[in-house]
């Protein structure tokens, strides 16, 4: 198997995670399917985002990034809520006195800022050996059945919740067949809603085999 090419990394970003901007030393290898709008590639990645990206590869590296951002928002919802319920001044002037609340007072705003900045980190334009791939990116918004969703992960979340689907199974089906076959993937996910894990693995293998013919 040929080695996967890493994206070009700006000098000032050479030690940062492409997903969230945290210091990193790992790489996430995105193995592109035939319908992906870009070739296989690797991006620098922190250990937490690497774990999340492996769970949500979806149909492109940009869809994957959106899914990682959504997962980070869920993981750090309590930290992000600090910025909703407080201002930095209010925390500094609060009258917390016991040791537990005093610790919260000192660290809460910093925890909020770290979580906020990771969610907001934009990454950088993807270039492979100097060739810009951003022009191949589909719109982040996704439309299906007359409804526009903020992203493909948002659509997956909506339908998974609506029909009590296995969201990981649904997302893997989409990764294999492409977002343009969303209806087909949704139908398969609904048909196998109560299937055992082994059956779902077999369905994925059958879909993969059919696509390779």
pLDDT for position 111: 84
pLDDT for position 45: 97
Over 80: is that where the pLDDT of 64 sits?
yes
pLDDT for position 100: 45
- Please, which pLDDT band fits residue 135 given cuts at 50, 70 and 90? low
d(CA 68, CA 50) in angstroms, rounded, equals: 9
pLDDT for position 202: 95
Structure tokens at 86: 């407080």
Comparing C-alpha atoms, which of 26, 25, 37, 27 is closest to residue 4?
A: 27
d(CA 62, CA 136) in angstroms, rounded, equals: 11
Cβ(107)–Cβ(113) below 8 Å:
no
- Please, which pLDDT band fits residue 211 given cuts at 50, 70 and 90? confident
Instruction: List, in sequence order, every residue forming a beta bridge with 44; answer none if it has no partner.
Output: 27
pLDDT for position 190: 94
Mean pLDDT of the chain: 86
Residue of higher predicted confidence among 144 and 136: 144
H or E element in which residue 166 lies: none
Residues 7-30 pLDDT 10s: 999 999 999 999 999 999 999 999
E-strand spans in the chain?
26-30, 41-45, 127-128, 131-132, 142-144, 147-149
DSSP code, position 23: B
The SS3 call for residue 127 is: strand
Cβ(6)–Cβ(14) below 8 Å:
no
pLDDT for position 131: 87
Comparing C-alpha atoms, which of 140, 175, 183, 213 is closest to residue 57?
A: 175
Q: What is the mean pLDDT of residues 89-94?
A: 65
pLDDT for position 142: 84
Residues 169-199 pLDDT 10s: 999 999 999 999 999 999 999 999 999 999 9
């Amino acid at each position: 198997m040929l080695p996967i090419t890493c994206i070009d990394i700006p000098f000032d970003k050479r030690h940062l995670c492409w997903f969230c901007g945290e210091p990193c030393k790992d790489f996430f290898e995105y193995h592109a399917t035939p319908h992906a709008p870009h070739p296989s590639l690797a991006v620098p990645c922190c250990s937490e985002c690497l774990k999340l990206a492996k769970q949500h590869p979806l149909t492109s590296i940009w869809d994957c990034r959106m899914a990682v951002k959504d997962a980070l928002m869920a993981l750090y919802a309590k930290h992000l809520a600090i910025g909703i319920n407080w201002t930095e001044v209010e925390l500094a002037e609060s009258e917390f006195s016991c040791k537990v609340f005093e610790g919260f007072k000192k660290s809460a705003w910093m925890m909020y800022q770290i979580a906020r900045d990771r969610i907001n980190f934009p990454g950088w334009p993807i270039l492979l050996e100097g060739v810009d791939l951003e022009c191949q990116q589909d719109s982040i918004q996704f439309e299906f059945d007359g409804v526009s969703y903020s992203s493909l992960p948002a659509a997956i979340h909506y339908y998974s919740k609506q029909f009590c689907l296995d969201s990981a199974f649904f997302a893997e089906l989409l990764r294999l067949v492409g977002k343009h076959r969303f209806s087909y993937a949704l139908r398969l996910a609904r048909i196998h809603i109560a299937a055992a894990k082994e059956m779902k693995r077999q369905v994925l293998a059958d879909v993969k085999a059919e696509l390779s013919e």
